[in-house]
Amino acid sequence: MLAQLTYSKLSHLLRVCVNKPSVLGTGTEMNTGASCWLQVKRRQRSVDSKSLAERQKQQMARSLPKQKSISGVHQVLVVASGKGGVGKSTTAVNLALGLIANDPSKSVGLLDADVYGPSIPKLMNLKGNPELSDNNRMIPLINYGVPCMSMGFLVEDAAPIVWRGLMVMSAIEKLLRQVDWGSLDYLVVDMPPGTGDVQLSITQNIPIAGAVIVSTPQDVALLDARRGAEMFRKVNVPVLGLVQNMSIFQCPNCNHQTHIFGSDGARQLADTLGVQFLGDVPLHLNIRESSDRGRPVVVSSPDSPEAAAYRSLASAVVQRLQEVSG
């Protein structure tokens, strides 16, 4: 049908050109004929490019894997950042614990998808190899009521993971499909930094309820956070909003507040992208020390302002999930 339509349009334009006075006439007539010919060529190129784009889109759709839900998991949340070092893993851990703190009836799991630099074992104070269930699936290790799975459970603590892309994809597939999560309301996935193969593999293989983007207010971090948000949009994953981590530092001696990494950068980026700003998390010694001890601040200091910031984040995420799914 498209070919016939294209042919018909081209034929009509050619007839118009033919019916024009001879190009051997005046200069005006020659210009008219040349202009008509250029219009024909431009329209032909436009149709050809649209046809090529449509064929490429169909080819990509055929080659993409079909999404399949993780057995027993109701909703998957991914916590991502455009670059490392912005506190993404700490945010993912305390978000998972904040979801439970706000509603103890909810069951929440934690998946560490950062194959090269797994942090969940340290942050959740877990070590050891997962046991296998009767159906030969790995049983997550549990602490603070949160079942966790990480590549860090399968290798030695200091062992580097020197793998090529195909091996990483295979590992991600096993972490997604060969873990017995039981029944979960939420599975929080700590994504690796960046916008590479792992992110694409996860977003293409499982349905994701929403993505939380973590950034500091610093300009360099915000540039990468924007790339991360745009990537999720391209693969049709709802961006729930941005979290501004390390937003402010308060001196423990004099209580003077300093915006070490700048102020309101993530809030402004959220406005620019048209997504929700989910909240601020301060740069606080208590968060760092509790994380290093494997006792996240939401469980070690539940009444602290820092824990309250994570619980507020969890509430904002749940509200956004309801808006997106509604």
Which CATH number goes with the domain that contains 243? 3.40.50.300
Weakly modelled stretches of the chain, pLDDT under 50:
1-7, 10, 13-14, 16-18, 20-25, 29, 60-61
Rounded distance between C-alpha atoms, residue 152 and residue 120, angstroms: 8
pLDDT score for 241: 94
Quick one: DSSP state of residue 109? E
Answer yes or no: is 274 within a domain: yes
Answer yes or no: is 192 within a domain: yes
pLDDT score for 46: 64
Answer yes or no: is 31 within a domain: no
Interval 254-294: pLDDT, tens: 777 787 777 777 788 888 888 999 999 988 889 999 999 99
Q: Are 81 and 199 in contact (CB under 8 A)?
A: no
- Token pair belonging to 45: 């190129």
Answer yes or no: is 44 within a domain: no
Q: Are 176 and 201 in contact (CB under 8 A)?
A: no
Expressed as residue numbers, the domain containing 103 is 73-325
Answer yes or no: is 39 within a domain: no
Give me the DSSP letters along 160-194: -----HHHHHHHHHHHHHSB---SEEEEEEEPPSS
Q: How many domains does the chain have?
A: 1
pLDDT score for 17: 46
Answer yes or no: is 255 within a domain: yes
Q: Which residues contact 286 (CB under 8 A, 6 or more apart)?
A: 297, 301, 304, 306
pLDDT score for 304: 94
Strands 108-112 and 210-215: unpaired
Any bridge partners for residue 184, and if so which?
73
CA-to-CA separations, 63 to 49, 66, 113, in angstroms, rounded: 21, 9, 23
Q: Are 248 and 283 in contact (CB under 8 A)?
A: yes
Answer yes or no: is 34 within a domain: no
pLDDT score for 20: 47
Q: Which residues contact 206 (CB under 8 A, 6 or more apart)?
A: 67, 68, 69, 70, 76, 176
Answer yes or no: is 141 within a domain: yes
